[in-house]
Amino acid sequence: MLRLGRAASGCRALAAPHPPGAGGHSKRASSGGKEILLNVHDGESSGIAEILMNRAHARNSLGRVLVNELFRVLESLRCDERIRVVVFKSEVKGVFCAGADLKERAQMNDAEVGHFVHRLRSLMDEIAALPMPTIAAIEGYALGGGLELALACDLRIAASSAKMGLIETTRGLLPGAGGTQRLPRCIGIGLAKELIFTGRQINGQQALSIGLVNHTVPQNDEGDAAYQRALTLAKEILPQAPIAVKMGKLAINRGIEVTFFFSSKIEEPLVKMFKTVMKKVL
């Protein structure tokens, strides 16, 4: 098992598979048939971790194995205080994530489908709840659950040629992993309804124009333009005070869930977190 860092209280973390290096290189675990890989940077880029989706035969669709492996990696990162930014990217050229694995779902009974949809929702919540900033690097297709995964990230970078959409209605389904909540919060209710009602796919430039992504970049010959821009953004975050960044993320996430004033729902967890940090520092 890949081991990554010391756990905080109540966490089961994984320790690093390699000693720290120099020069801004990164070390990646060999795939070994795994559908989720972890790439941890060292040197000048120390603090950046990359979650790599590696299910080529199914275009990174969200099947049981990929979901289970992603849960395990998220748990390790949540507990590792050395990780400052997490980048989600695909190892499969031309696709970020094609959504839920409908072929696998067709083999499930009703109870299994209900359980799996609930697990997908929990997965997206776990991504959103990571304490450090997360960036989705979208090079190709991010459809259905793939776009829901990107929406669970804090920031999104897309290649201009990327294709995004909550396409469930074209298949007689409904976005079930948080898309109906996160998309309206990202781009507004009217546009979210239009995209969900029509199942429309949009490219990176269109996504930028409606606020779905933070940046769009022309695709390069290597097919990793969005990743390169995401890495630049991650390096811009790295020098900032990590506790302040985490508290800023928490305040924003809690703030959009309550009315427009600094209520106790925001204040209490922030004060608790601040006291915990001060005890560690002092």
> Distance from first CA to last CA of the chain, Å, rounded?
35
Rg (CA), the chain: 19
Helix (H, G, I), strand (E, B) or coil at 18: coil
Catalytic residue among 35, 69, 139, 148: 148
Active site residue 44: no
Q: What is the DSSP code (8-state) at residue 108?
A: S
Catalytic choice (100, 152, 207, 230): 100
List the catalytic residue out of 144, 145, 178, 179.
Answer: 145
* 253: Cβ contacts below 8 Å, ≥ 6 apart: 128
Q: Token pair 């909540």 is at which residue?
A: 181
Per annotation, catalytic residue among 69, 158, 168, 178: 168
- Tokens representing 197 are 């009602």
Q: Catalytic site residue 100?
A: yes
**Is residue 72 within a helix (H) or strand (E), and if so which, with residue range?**
helix 64-78
Cα–Cα distance measured from residue 148 to residue 233, given in angstroms and rounded to the nearest whole number: 21
148 neighbors 177 (Cβ within 8 angstroms): yes
281: which 2 tokens? Answer: 């520092």
Identify whether 148 is a catalytic site residue.
yes
CA distance readout (Å), 247 to 28, 133, 183: 29, 11, 23
Q: What are residue 105's phi and psi, to 5 degrees? A: -65, -30
For the annotated catalytic residues, the residue numbers are 100, 145, 148, 168
